[in-house]
Each structure stands twice: as C-alpha cells, then as structure tokens.
Amino acid sequence: MKVPFTVGPVGHFGLSVRSPKKSAKWFEGALGLTKQFEFEDGVAIGNANVTLALHKGKPRPKTFGHMSFHLANMTALRKALEHLQKLEVELEDPGDEIGPEAPGSKHMGLWFRDPDGYRWELSVQNGKR
C-alpha cells in the first residue's frame, strides 16, 4: 500500500524524568536546547529541529533505546565531544568515543547518557575519523 504522505522533521516527543526543570537545564547546557514553555508537571525544550517534552515521572531509559541527532560534519562532532567532556557527561567508549555507528557503517557517532539514564547519539553521515 502506498502511503499518501511523507513524515517531516520530528515535531516533539516526551520523556519521563525525575525533575523536568533540572533536566531542561542539563539539555540547555549539554545540547544547546532552549526552554520553549512549561506545562502541568513538565517543561518543553528544543530548537528548530526538535522539541523534547520533559514530564515529571519515573525515567524509563530501557524503553527508549536511543535518539540520534545529525551534526553537519566531523569538526562539529569533535567539538561536541570536547564540550561534553568538559561537562563530565557520561560518555560511552571512554578513550575512543567517536566511532562507526555500527560495524561497517560509513556514519560516525558518539554516544552518551543524560542524568536520567537515557541514551543519546550525535552523528555525522558519511563521516571519516
């Protein structure tokens, strides 16, 4: 069956976090997202590409897998790594943080966790170390 539409950029998605305001501050500092508005028991933060609705609740990072954001080039990815290291963000693969998204992949990425344990990725499509 042919679908009669094409989905666009991510509008928003919601996550349960222990403290929406604290989580919003973390995302502001770590990823440069900005507060968009508050709602009952939550805060929405984002940029022109995505909005995260942070709801007060029990975090469930195992149900999330991970979310990837594309960066423009490898220079931006290396700068992102330096920034996250300065913030002492929990990075995966310490000492070799930037690598292929999967074995044999042409895409390069780095993975990290937020304070509620959710896993995030920053990646460059067709990047070279």
Per residue in 51-100, pLDDT (tens digit) is 999 999 999 999 989 999 999 999 999 999 999 999 999 999 877 889 88
51-56, strands of its sheet edge to edge:
13-17, 51-56, 42-46, 34-39
Q: What is the pLDDT of residue 29?
A: 97
Whole-structure pTM over 0.75, yes or no?
Answer: yes
Q: What is the pLDDT of residue 127?
A: 81
Mean per-residue pLDDT over the chain, rounded: 93
The domains found in the chain, sorted by start residue, are 1-59 (3.30.1900.10), 61-129 (3.10.180.10)
Q: What does DSSP assign to residue 21?
A: H
d(CA 69, CA 73): 12
Q: What is the pLDDT of residue 54?
A: 98
Q: Does the pLDDT at position 43 exceed 70?
A: yes
